[in-house]
Chain A
Amino acid sequence: MKGMIRWSGIGVAAVILVLAFFLLEPLLKLVIEQAGTRALSTKVSLKSVDIGWSDSALSLHGLEIADKDQPMRNALEVDQIALQINALDALSGHLVSEQARLNGIQFNTPRSSSGAVDHMVTLGNVDEKVSSAASDLSLPGLDLPDMDQLVSKENSLTYQRYVALREYIDANKVSFKQRVEALKDEKKIEEYKARFKEIKESKGFMGKLQAVSKAKELKKDIDKDLKEIKRLRRDFDLTVKEIQRRAEQLKDSPKEEADHLLAKVGVEGGTQKVAEVLFGPEVKGYLQQLKSFMQKGSDAVETETQPQTPERGKGLFVQFSEERKLPLVWFKFAQVSGDLHGLGVPFKFSGEATHLTDQQKLTQQPTAVTLDLINEKVKSANLGIVLDNRKTQTLSIDSTITGYQVDEMPVSGDFTLNKGLADLVAKLKLKDEALSGTLDLAIQQVSLTSTGSLFEKYPSAKEALATVDAIDAKATLSGSLDTPGVAITSNLDRVLNKVFDKAIEGQLASYKSELTQRLETMLDEEMKGLKGAKSDYLSLSDDISGAEGALDKILGGL
């Protein structure tokens, strides 16, 4: 055996191990980059890796995770991650650490080269969607709709009422005409007259006796007809009443319809939720950003799939159940610091996080982050986030900001908060798709500027806003991230409603009058035709009277 050992070879092996020692850092860098890229389906890169052999410490510098949707931007960038690790775990691509420190965390930073991985589709910029949602400010009560679009014969309630009345008159006219014709039947009258004559001319005892009986029969028949005439008269009078009622209704219909149309397009209560119109798009914009962030986060939990026929030289990895199956990243406790400006939130932050991981299904622990938000203009601010997607995806966000000195802050497209001292309490929960939460905002020492066409049109609103020195607003969130419901109540509603109500009063009255006139003009011709039909119908009354008179005359003779 002694002859089998190459003593010089031991030296060579030692040299290989030393080389491996020096090559371990670039090797580890490569392993982490490849494992990260594979797991997140987006480019993960590191500037360098330092290994501290004495204390099993690993330091990662310049971690960049590209944004899948925008390859020229990083979704996340971390200046330095210092952690204590198991070297074997790290070599297999798993960064698992009891304690870690993440410094210089930034979001949405620019990249020098594209981070696209094969077959990635580039989607539009979320920020653009947000800003476009906020830019179109329109209060339904103030922007009156185009009248031509509003008024059309086909959809007009008045026209429909007119058509219904016309049909009613025509149908009854035909029916009553038939019934009157039946009563005015000349043959029948002649027969009654002949029977009357026969009775009158009867002679002898027997003849007189028979005449009495015939007279009784004739009276019975005529009474029957008269009864029918009375019923006809009663029915006719009822239809006349109904026609008159409908005609009256039709007369007032254009005015009523004008009110209805205006209510339908939101003019009626249009100025009641001014704050919702002003701030709603902003809140929805932030929710849209949150949705995009959540989608990016949830992508990481996708499991890797393997092809059934492996490439040559690659083989297939057969999976066995591991007692300790490790996620790609799991920092059980981490001190974190960084900057939220990339997310459009003007704060730096420092704080703690527990169970930071890419796969909670493996760690079986929810991720919790507690941050102190730092901004020189804020007295104190904190943010608590709990993300739990072990079974269902649940995100809870609690934030309190006190004494935020707001300076030239655009609130919506037409609205700028020049200055103010804001306190905000936000509680938001997202469970699967269901969104719930409240935002309580109180701003003191307020100075507001309003710009845009809306406020130029209503200078009194601008003046009223200039007198506002405190704002309180409460937003209640509901629905889902896709279709969020944002109900906002604010003292601005009271202030602006007062102004807008006054401003719109005269404008709305003339608009309504014009709208009524349009509807009346539209129905004018039809109404003339209706008058003729109505008088034709009423002339049936004379026919009924004629029939009644003829029968009464015969009956009087009896």
Chain B
Amino acid sequence: MLTILAKLLKLLNSDQNPSHLALAVCFGLAIGLMPGFSAFLVIWVILLCVLKANLTLFFLVWGIFEGVAYVFDPMLHQLGYQLLTSEGLNALWADMIQSSFWKLTAFNNSLVMGALIVSLVLFVPVYLLVLWLVKSYRDKIQTFIEKWKITQMLKGSKFYRVYQSLAGA
């Protein structure tokens, strides 16, 4: 746990491009929520490889969102089911099902559809939010926190040694 937290702090305090970190969070969210039997997963993974997303942060967030997906499974299913059975969208789904490619994505699965919509809807806001958070942290909070007494104390702790070892690595 300490290692994970230390890794996160290290990433925040490093000179990593904030947009890479934001992308990593977005991909972690999308891939973590998406069920394994959909071709959407492959698409997300290829995008992850091609776009400069921080892989360390991605793995961290992915793990978290696997758990989130399990907890919110009924809601994702409900959302996907509502969309798939919505009369207004029926023609679109009926067109898509005629294609073998779309069938491979299993878009007509309630969980896949729910996860896809949540990922797409949250992708940009999460990206912008993480970008702003990282920048804010680095501009304002990082220097401010360093001045705290507790930070000074922590620097002498085991946690800091872990952090240092990671920084040196």
Interface set of A (CB-CB < 8 Å, partner B): 3-6, 9-10, 12-13, 16-17, 20, 86, 88-89, 91-92, 310, 312-324
Contacts and interface: CB of A to CB of B under 8 A. Distances in A.
A324 B97 CA distance: 9
Given A92-B104, A313-B73, A318-B84, A5 B111 contact: no
Contact of A88 (B19, B46, B74, B100): B100
Given A16-B45, A310-B111, A313-B35, A323 B52 contact: no
Nearest to B94: A320
B108 A12 contact: no
Contact of B100 (A4, A89, A315): A89
Given A313-B73, A318-B84, A92 B111 contact: no
B46 A318 contact: no
Given A9-B50, A10-B49, A12-B49, A319 B103 contact: no
A314 B111 contact: yes
B19 A313 contact: no
Contacts of A323: 98
Interface in B94-121: 94, 97-98, 100-101, 103-104, 106, 108-112, 114
B28 interface: no
Contacts of B70: 312-313
B103 A318 contact: no
Looking at chain B, what size class is its interface with the partner chain? Answer: 35 or more
A16 B104 CA distance: 18
A26 to B, nearest CB: 16
Contacts of B81: 316, 318
16 contacts: A4-B51, A9-B51, A9-B52, A13-B49, A16-B45, A86-B100, A92-B104, A310-B110, A310-B111, A315-B77, A315-B109, A316-B77, A316-B109, A319-B108, A320-B90, A320-B93
B160 to A, nearest CB: 31
Contacts of B35: 313-315
Pairs A-B, 5 closest by C-beta atoms: A315-B111, A88-B100, A9-B49, A318-B84, A13-B49
A5 B52 contact: yes
A17 B45 CA distance: 11
B18 interface: no
Nearest to B84: A318
Contact of A6 (B50, B97, B101, B112): B50
A315 to B, nearest CB: 3
A6 B80 CA distance: 33
B3 interface: no
Contacts of B42: 20
Interface in B69-86: 69-70, 73-74, 76-77, 80-81, 84-85
Nearest to A92: B103
Nearest to B114: A315
A5 B17 CA distance: 13
A91 B104 contact: yes
A545 B108 CA distance: 109
B95 to A, nearest CB: 9
Nearest to A88: B100
A152 B82 CA distance: 77
B144 to A, nearest CB: 29
A319 B106 CA distance: 11
A322 B103 CA distance: 11
Contact of B46 (A13, A92, A315, A324): A13
Given A313-B111, A315-B111, A316-B110, 7 more contacts: A4-B19, A9-B51, A13-B50, A315-B76, A315-B77, A315-B109, A318-B81
A312 B84 CA distance: 18
Nearest to A89: B100
A396 B139 CA distance: 83
A318 B107 CA distance: 9
Contacts of B111: 310, 313-316
Contacts of A9: 48-52
Contacts of B109: 315-318
A149 to B, nearest CB: 69
Contacts of B77: 310, 315-316
A340 B23 CA distance: 62
Nearest to A310: B77
B68 to A, nearest CB: 13
B41 to A, nearest CB: 12
B52 A92 contact: no
Contact of A16 (B49, B80, B101): B49
Given A310-B77, A312-B73, A315-B35, A4 B52 contact: yes
B46 A6 contact: no
A6 B53 CA distance: 8
Interface in B136-151: none
B20 to A, nearest CB: 8
A78 B156 CA distance: 71
A310 B70 CA distance: 13
A31 B104 CA distance: 12
A4 B97 CA distance: 33
Nearest to B76: A315
A296 to B, nearest CB: 29
B50 A92 contact: no
A363 B97 CA distance: 18
B94 A315 contact: no
Nearest to A91: B104
Contacts of B106: 317
Contacts of A88: 100-101, 103-104
Contact of B50 (A10, A91, A322): A10
Interface in B12-53: 17, 19, 23, 35, 42, 45-46, 48-53
